[in-house]
Amino acid sequence: PLRTQCPPDKDQLGRATWTFLHTAAAYYPTQPTPAQRTQMLALIHALPALYPCNHCAEDFGASVAQSPPDVSGRAGLSRWFCERHNEVNEKLGKVAFDCAKTDERWKEGPKDGSCD
Ligand code: FAD
């Protein structure tokens, strides 16, 4: 029998959103065009207005205001999202993620090939 599909709770929404954001950063160009930079900035700035968890959105807006997005290229953007995510991890009492491992986690997969 099919299991009932429930609406996402805060954690499921968060995992899905981080998956999208980190993956978008992992595939962002090394040398983005001015239009791509503008579009990425628009995406980031839309989150505090539209993310459907009010207190999450509010804190994320404060974080963006404190640390302006680095949309200069893939490496800088990936690091910027990693740092913002780590701020949420810290707030929730989770261990910090090692930002040097961002590409392995979101683009390349582990060296042992277990994700190939
Ligand atoms: P998640 O934190 O969702 O992470 C998913 C995976 O990403 C992890 O398994 C890990 O492999 C990887 N990862 C972890 N940290 C990093 C990092 N720094 N860089 C790259 N990859 C990483 N929840 C709240 O309860 N309160 C909030 O205020 C809140 N604010 C949020 C704001 C935003 C913008 C978003 C997108 C989510 C927010 N969340 C908030 C949700 C919260 O961040 C988590 O998504 C949720 O708690 C589920 O956590 P998780 O442990 O399953 O993994």
CATH number attached to the domain at 12-104? 1.20.120.310
Q: Separation of 11 CA from ligand 1 center, angstroms? A: 8
Looking at ligand 1, which atom is closest to the CA of residue 12? 48
pLDDT in tens, 79-116: 999 999 999 999 999 999 999 999 999 999 999 999 99
Pocket test for ligand 1, best of 81, 88, 95, 97 (most atoms within 8 A of CB): 88
ipTM score over 0.90, yes or no: yes
Q: Which residue has the tokens 């065009």?
A: 33
pLDDT in tens, 88-97: 999 999 999 9
Residue-range domain boundaries for the chain: 12-104
